[in-house]
């Protein structure tokens, strides 16, 4: 192992730069040359590379987003696209490649490794926290804190106006962001994919709270496949409850901003682990953190297996929201 590459793919997540920085410093400390690939798989297909040294990653640990930029590449998900990617990697003289991203990134990586034998190690970067094989993804903690800050602010006006608020957070097809920000923000109810809840049932639950003296309430909604579902839910609830409501969709606000301590440390730890894995001869796997320890999960498992919500945390929300 003499020369390696690194890229970020899919949605950006705070802490990706901490991971890039750690990987670069670890590679250089071990006598490896490292290059960055701009714009994820799209940049890989075009051979868009840049040398990385200490100067390139200096003063980046506090930055959100990714200094290497990112994208989604439908072309890479074709066999012809992956053949071109493998050839670019060969021509660039890369002995291994580090991929920072989520499920889609690792799905593509598993195909590339299987078809062309390319040496690849992944690092989970996703605010959705939906990647199997790690307790937390880079960016999740920052996004959850962003959602919490919004909930705290909204509670002030909800209380002042005796109003019902629906706060919609990101999360794709999972409820990790909604659950943790909901617990921390003291939300009255959750609407998440893992626990289907009809508008009638939601209305009944809210009504019980108003009966015991609550004058305002916050419902945290996981956006699901498309943002904006909270407007439909609010309209449906209005048919059951004669209560004024408002909707706040946080959207991409949750992706940006300086990473938290947790995401900076996690990014740094996993960046070091990814380089170490390549040096140890590992490939076709993701370096994650499970119960405080580094764990390597095969790429196929990262996107084929569904990461479940913690049942104990769900129970705690139910208990505390009563």
pLDDT per position as a tens digit, 255-288: 999 999 999 999 999 999 999 999 999 999 999 9
Structural domain includes residue 28: yes
Quick one: CA torsion of 41, 47, 48, 53, rounded to 10 degrees?
Answer: 100
pLDDT per position as a tens digit, 91-148: 999 999 999 999 999 999 999 999 999 999 999 999 999 999 999 999 999 999 999 9
Do 43 and 91 contact (CB within 8 A), yes or no? no
Structural domain includes residue 243: yes
Q: How many CA atoms lie within 13 A of 63 on its CB side?
A: 14
Phi, psi of 118, rounded to the nearest 5 degrees: -70, 140
Q: Are residues 9 and 48 part of one domain?
A: yes
Structural domain includes residue 270: yes
pTM of the model: 0.95
What per-residue string of b and e applies to 141-174 under the rule 16 or more CB within 10 Å gives b? bbbbbbbbebbeebbeebeeeebbbbbbbbbbeb
What distance, in Å, lies between the first and last C-alpha atoms of the chain? Answer: 56
pLDDT per position as a tens digit, 71-95: 989 999 999 999 999 999 999 999 9
Do 23 and 57 contact (CB within 8 A), yes or no? no
Structural domain includes residue 246: yes
Phi, psi of 240, rounded to the nearest 5 degrees: -100, -30
Whether 204 is catalytic is no
Map residue 37 onto helix, strand or coil: strand
29-to-24, 128, 201, 272 alpha-carbon distances in Å? 9, 32, 58, 11
The residue behind tokens 């994919």 is 193
Q: Which domain holds residue 280?
A: 3-139+259-304
The secondary structure of 107-154 as a DSSP string is: HHHHHHHHHH---EEEEEB-TT---TT-SS-BTHHHHHHHHHHHHHHH
CATH number at residue 47: 3.40.50.450
- The one catalytic residue in 53, 95, 128, 310 is 128
Q: Are residues 22 and 84 part of one domain?
A: yes
Q: Are residues 207 and 91 part of one domain?
A: no
Structural domain includes residue 168: yes
Q: Give the count of domains, the chain.
A: 2
Q: Where are the alpha helices (DSSP H) in the chain?
A: 16-29, 40-46, 79-91, 103-116, 140-161, 176-185, 199-211, 229-240, 261-279, 299-304, 311-320
């Amino acid at each position: 192992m003499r020369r390696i590459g690194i890229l970020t793919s899919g949605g950006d997540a705070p802490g990706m730069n901490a991971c890039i920085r750690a990987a670069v410093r670890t590679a250089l400390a071990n006598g490896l040359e490292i290059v960055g690939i701009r714009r994820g798989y799209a940049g890989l297909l075009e051979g868009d590379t840049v040398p990385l040294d200490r100067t390139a990653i200096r003063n980046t640990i506090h930055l959100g987003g990714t200094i290497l930029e990112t994208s989604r590449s439908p072309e890479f998900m074709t066999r012809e696209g992956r053949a071109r990617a493998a050839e670019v990697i060969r021509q660039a003289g890369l002995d291994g490649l580090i991929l920072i991203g989520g499920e889609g990134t690792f799905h593509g990586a598993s195909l590339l490794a299987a078809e062309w034998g390319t040496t690849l190690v992944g690092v989970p970067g996703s605010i959705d926290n939906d990647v199997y094989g790690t307790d937390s993804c880079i960016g999740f903690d920052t996004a959850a804190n962003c959602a919490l800050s919004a909930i705290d602010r909204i509670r002030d006006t909800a209380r002042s106006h005796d109003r019902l608020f629906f706060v919609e957070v990101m999360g794709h097809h999972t409820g990790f962001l909604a659950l943790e920000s909901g617990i921390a923000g003291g939300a009255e109810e959750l609407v998440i994919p893992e626990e289907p809840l009809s508008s009638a049932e939601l209305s009944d639950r809210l009504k019980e709270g108003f009966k015991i003296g609550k004058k305002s309430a916050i419902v945290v909604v996981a956006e699901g496949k498309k943002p904006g579902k909270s407007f439909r839910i609010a309209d449906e609830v209005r048919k059951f409850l004669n209560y004024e409501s408002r909707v706040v969709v946080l959207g991409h606000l949750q992706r940006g901003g300086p990473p938290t301590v947790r995401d900076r440390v996690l990014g740094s730890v996993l960046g070091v682990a990814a380089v170490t894995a390549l040096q140890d001869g590992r490939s076709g796997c993701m370096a994650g953190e499970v119960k405080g320890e580094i764990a390597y999960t095969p790429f196929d498992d990262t996107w084929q297996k569904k990461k479940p919500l913690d049942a104990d945390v769900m129970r705690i929300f139910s208990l505390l929201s009563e």
